[in-house]
Copies of this chain bind each other. A is one copy, B any other.
Amino acid sequence: MVDQFDPNFTENVINATGPKTDPRMRQVMTSLIRHLHDFAREVELTVDEWMAGVNLINWAGQMSNDRRNEGQLVCDVLGLESLVDEITFSRAANAPDAATATAILGPFFRTGAPHYPNGSSIIKTPPTEGGEVTFMHGRVVDSTTGEPIEGVVIDVWEASTNGLYEQQDPNQADCNLRGRFTTDKDGKYSLYCLRPTPYPIPFDGPAGKILQLLDRHPMRPAHIHLIATHKDYKPITTQIFDSEDKYLSNDSVFAVKHSLVVEFKPLEGNDQATRELEYDLKLKKPSST
Contact B21 A215 (CB under 8 A): yes
Consensus secondary structure, chain A interface = helix
Contact A59 B58 (CB under 8 A): no
A248→B4 CA distance, assembly (Å): 11
Measured CB to CB, the nearest residue on chain B to A73 is: B54
Contact of A270 with B by CB under 8 A: no
Which of A41-49, A114-122, A128-136 lines the interface with chain B?
A41-49
Please judge, given known A-B contacts A25-B214, A60-B57, A214-B18, whether A79 and B45 are in contact too, CB under 8 Å.
no
Contact B88 A47 (CB under 8 A): yes
Q: How many A residues, CB 8 Å from partner?
A: 83
Chain multiplicity (copies): 2
Interface positions, chain A 239-262, Cβ under 8 Å from B, are 248-250, 254-258, 261
CB distance from A64 to the nearest CB of B (A): 4
A143→B11 CA distance, assembly (Å): 32
Q: Which of B5, B69, B82 contacts A86 (CB 8 A)?
A: B5
Contact of A95 with B by CB under 8 A: no
Measured CB to CB, the nearest residue on chain B to A10 is: B79
- Which residues on B sit within 8 Å (CB–CB) of A46? 84, 87-88
Contact with B along A16-52 (1 / 0, CB 8 A): 1111111001111101110111111111111101110
